[in-house]
Chains A and B, each alone.
Chain A
Amino acid sequence: MPIPLSGLILAAPALGALALMVVPNRRHAFVRRIAVATTSVSLAGAIGAMVTYHRASGGYQHELAVPWIRSLGIGLHLGMDGISVVLVLLHALCAFTGVLISYAIKERVKEYYLFYLLLITGVFGVFLSLDLFFFYFFYEMAVIPMYPLIGIWGSDVKERGIVRFSKEYAAMKLTIYLTLGAVVALTGLLWLYAASGARTFDLVTLQQRFAGTPLDPSLQRAIFPLLAVGFGVIAPMWPLHSWSPIGHAAAPSAVSMLHAGVLMKLGSYAIIRLAVTLLPEGAAVWLPWLASLCVMNIIYGGFVAMAQKDLKLIIGYSSSSHMGYVLLGVACLTPLALDGAVMLMFAHGLMTALAFALIGHVYDQTHTRWLPDLGGLAHQIPFIAGCSVAAAMASSGLPGFANFVAELLVFLGGWDRYPVQIACGVFGVVITAVYMLRVVRGTFFGESKRQFSHARDAATPFARLPYVVLILALFVTGSWPKPMLSLIDASVRPLIERVAPGRGRPAGEPITVLISTPVSVEVR
């Protein structure tokens, strides 16, 4: 029996982690090769899934279903629709480049990669699971490795040499916040399971059942906030976001890449996949609240990012600000906005991963992330400087990068629903431009500083590979978004048609206009 792509993508890092358990401690090169090999397999699988996903038929494809606990209706059911294909690809890209960036780790290498591969497995599992039990199973499995990863290999967050947050504090705060969110969501999921009366954890079966006999609306309204808040913690929804920036700042670069790039998307993904899909009545009541919270994410997160001087904290707060756009897109629940939200998850994930990788390099070379201490690094590390300019441009939503397309779609799609919130969101773009440009100027431009004269650039093709991969992915999907958007749209439209009938077919079909004329880079 051929193994479906979903199984392959999930099994590769899991087997890698198993293999690492028996590899001797000292064989660092071999350990790294295992990690690279297994994440490459997943990446190949993810690209394969993207190419072979049959858009016309839609729905869940590359399925794998193994009964697990029959008496409770639990099965290991994997599969991908357009939304998950995109996120699996995002995660595969971040995991692959993250493993390459992790070459900088020199201490307790085997343990590091073991936890890293477990984290990667967990996140793939969440994106691929079509079973509530395994969804939670992998979700919590992804959260726990963050504790040792940050605690052992992370660094304290310092302000002028004084420790502001220790890495232990950051790791514990992150783990407890995320677990608390997870168990609240779990309560909601179990309630949903019990109330459905279907005695199954299978998402597809539940979906079909609710299509025929919807859950009692009052029950939906009661369960929805449990899921939205529980999973919202990781999104990170304001005001439950405070674990996130310090978690980013304390984590080693490659972990921040996955954390900001992918882990945060688990929250918005879970809200789309579970909360909105299974509880449309609850969504109708609660999503307007979510939309307003998102504005706080965008504006508040943006302003706080502006006030920071630690590079990682700036990007950390910017991430929680940008995730506001994603959640806003979800809250609008129109095809355009949701297309944009999913696309933005992809674009923002790559962009943040890129940013954290770059900061990691700067920190390794200069041993500081304190913005006032930096400057003029373009002289010493021109390649990194160039990539950083690209990252800043992507982050500020300049055309040519995927972020632009995605944010535009959210704004266009959401305008009719929440004009005030969207207007605030547009303002947030300006804030982003301010702090991103400030970072680039303060770090790379200005006079060359003598104490950084020893700083080395990423010189070899191998060292440049992760950056090139991430920028290329951002650029290609930004300049030619049609393949990805059509993929997302194929799954988003039926979803919206199901949960908010009538909204699935907007007048004028503006999306086709956007897709058929590739946005050119020269638009300035």
Chain B
Amino acid sequence: MKYVDEFRARDLAEKLAVQIAAEAKPDRTYHLMEFCGGHTHAIFRYGVQDLMPENVKFVHGPGCPVCVLPVRRLDDAVELAEKHGVILCSYGDMMRVPGTKQRSLIKAKADGADIRMIYSTQDALKIARENPDRQVVFFAIGFETTTPPTAVAIKQAEAEGLENFSVFCNHVLTPSAIGHILDSPEVRDLGTVKIDGFLGPSHVSSVIGSEPYEFFAEEFAKPVVIAGFEPLDVMQSVLMLIRQVNEGRAEVENEYTRVVTREGNLKAQALVSEVFELRQSFEWRGLGEVPYSALRIRDAYAAFDAEKRFTVTEKQSREVKSCECPAILRGVKKPTDCKLFGTVCTPDNPMGSCMVSSEGACAAYWTYGRFREPAKQKAEAIA
């Protein structure tokens, strides 16, 4: 397939592997955090780790939109569908994420709630048009990549006078999450999470550009390389990060130049800021409350804000006890450190969000990497 196979070519991968092995200094370890679930997925699906020397380690970041949504917001969505009788439209990833007491959208649907899996915001608008007597709520989640289409949908609903359409907005912001991780005691003071550099978001950066990361590179002295989601992008970016670390540089570099510019997509940015504004604070699964890390719908578009249209009850939302998703999302633990991993928690019966999405670290470990762990544990036991 043109424009795809080129970025998955084995001969180039082998050449890059040789270069990485040659340039990675044997007397140190390189801990590289890939922020995005898309990178986690690519690393496991293509077996990128196999092509890395022992001392280059990936730390999986929180960039999986489904994974970081706090249970309370999911419980609210279930309540909208069950108690307020709305047609709840959700992206497919979200359907199987367990809420309080393992209640997921897919279970609520089976019990009679009208929940529809959609592929784009346009599908939600279509459903609203076809059901003028019903309230239709779009369950909006995701980072900066999925925000512009939500903005378009809200503007379109306004233009059409689609009064039965509203958005339950859960859009979050990548730079705030990265800042929060870098500022966390585990990284800053305790040193329990070692991060020598970041593989920066690819699709997110196509919207916001590479500029927002310049602050981290400077303030925290960590190199950032904006990396595409194809496996060769990941490898090339790893090489670029290793070079920065070796040379003592901490800059924002852009490997994904075929898509990302420094300033990003200005049109999309203008659209987003027209419809949305910053929330003072928003809860992230794993990270807790993160200031100015999410968006809400501006007052000018309040008529399409599901949080204003419906009143959801206060509830005692709770994650499964001993689920380590929060620590895994912060990079503090690996999926295999979790007692539930592979025993009670599997993709067929997920206990936490990281086991659901194909971009979640637990799901990626389980689906693509299970075989590595026994071998590794054996090696460690011998050592």
A and B from one complex: no
Q: B-side interface residues toward A, CB under 8 Å?
A: none
Q: A-side interface residues toward B, CB under 8 Å?
A: none
